[in-house]
Amino acid sequence: MISTKRAYNFNAGPSALPVEVLEKAQEELVNFNSSGMSIMEMSHRSKDYETVHNDAIARLKSLYAIPDNYEVLFLQGGASLQFTMVPMNFLKEDQTASYILTGSWSEKAIKEAKLFGQTREAASSKENAYRNIPAFEEIQFNETDAYVHLTSNNTIYGTAWNEFPKTGDIPLIADMSSDILSKPVDVSNFGVIYAGAQKNLGPSGVTVVIIRKDLIEKANTKIPTMLKYSTHADSNSLYNTPPTFGIYMLGEVLKWVEEKGGLDAIAKNNEEKAKVIYDVIDNSNGFYKGHATIESRSLMNITFRVTDEELEKQFLAEAKEAGFVGLNGHRSVGGCRASTYNAVPFEACKALADFMIAFQNKHQ
């Protein structure tokens, strides 16, 4: 239906959205549900909007089989505000929170926690240039910790947890910004899961928080109203005006995931997409070099170098010329990064793999 050619979009975030969702939004934009206005123009207290809002919550609950003792919240301020809200709500001055450091986003998260209480580096792969996820045996936390925090997928370094540590009675809190909705996850292992929407969930502007109800009840009370989880839980995320268009888009993305067969099917597709690119790296005889160790590789962000620095510049320039968007590594680490989120089609990954092979053949 779309007449323009879609780019091979490997942006790290904001990033590709399913074309079917964009087309549906386009169709409904001017006149949503025969209301004579767009979803952006109607009251967040209207019946039409309320249906969209509750439908998105219900779909997320169903896709992840979220147990009844959890709330789904739609907040603003990005994952970055969660770096603050988590310790503000759950860490008391005389308590310690454990953070597992696997990249820049975990560093930013622990920095905020230090403002509210004590912190412990439960494990860190910094000395290994964040190439790996620490082994379970390395992780040190305490039974008195307020919580243990980790980043499930490290967008900048291209690593991800395949399995999550068990923390028993201590709540495990995860920043899932860059791999939420990419595979099934047992929500009951977590106290809180949070994610900015702009990778796998929808446009930027919405932050999804999945949170255990008992933690909301036990949270600190002497904090600003808007920064209390309870404020949003008590009002079904309608305490103030929510980002209505973003939540509408999120609902449409969730429908799209359902139509694709749910999280199992999405995970399988993501594995196939990543494999086609990792295979090129692994079979390149060192021409391309992956940043992450093989067992810690992310299926969402594939980070690699062209071993020859001059050729790397040429690679990025030629790739851009050939229509591949967003392949430059994060400005803090350089190199190359292909972000292969849910909405990036297999064909785009295959086209990139073919391009990488052709580039190697031409320049080796």
Ligand X SMILES: Cc1ncc(COP(=O)(O)O)c(C=O)c1O
Catalytic sites, residue numbers: 105, 175, 199
Residue 33 is a binding residue for ligand X (CB under 6 A): no
Q: Single out the segment in contact with ligand X by CB under 6 A; choices: 73-81, 88-96, 245-253, 356-364.
A: 73-81
79 scored as a contact of ligand X (CB under 6 A): yes
For 326, the token pair is 């967003």
- Asked whether position 243 contacts ligand X by CB under 6 A, the answer is no
Which ranges of 260-330 does DSSP label H, i.e. alpha helix?
262-282, 309-321
What is the residue whose two structure tokens read 């969730």?
Answer: 254
# residues contacting ligand X (CB under 6 A): 11
Shortest CB 176 distance to ligand X, Å: 8
Shortest Å, Cβ 254 to ligand X = 19
CA distance 327 to 325: 6
Segment contacting ligand X by CB under 6 A, of 77-85, 138-146, 162-170, 284-292: 77-85
Mark the segment that binds ligand X (CB under 6 A) among 76-84, 157-165, 182-190, 238-246. 76-84
- Residues between 96 and 125 with contacts to ligand X, criterion CB under 6 A: 105
In the three-class reduction of DSSP (H, G, I as helix; E, B as strand; rest coil), residue 131 is classed as coil
Contacting range for ligand X; rule: CB under 6 A; set: 2-10, 130-138, 172-180, 261-269:
172-180
Collect all residues with Cβ–Cβ distance below 8 Å to 124 and sequence separation of at least 6: 100, 101, 102, 134
* Tokens of residue 47, six digits: 């019946």
Instruction: Tell me whether residue 105 or residue 359 sits nearer to ligand X (CB atom).
Output: 105
Among 9, 10, 11, 13, binds ligand X (CB under 6 A): 13
Calpha distance 144→188 (Å, rounded): 20
Phi-psi region of 277 (alpha: psi -120 to 50; beta: other; left: phi over 0): alpha
As beta bridge partners, residue 324 has 8
Q: Which of 15, 178, 182, 244 binds ligand X (CB under 6 A)?
A: 178
Which residue of 33, 38, 46, 80 would you call a contact of ligand X, by CB under 6 A?
80
Find out whether 340 and 2 touch, Cβ atoms under 8 Å.
no
Residue 29: DSSP 8-state: S
Q: Give the binding site for ligand X (CB under 6 A).
A: 13, 78-80, 105, 151, 155, 175, 177-178, 196
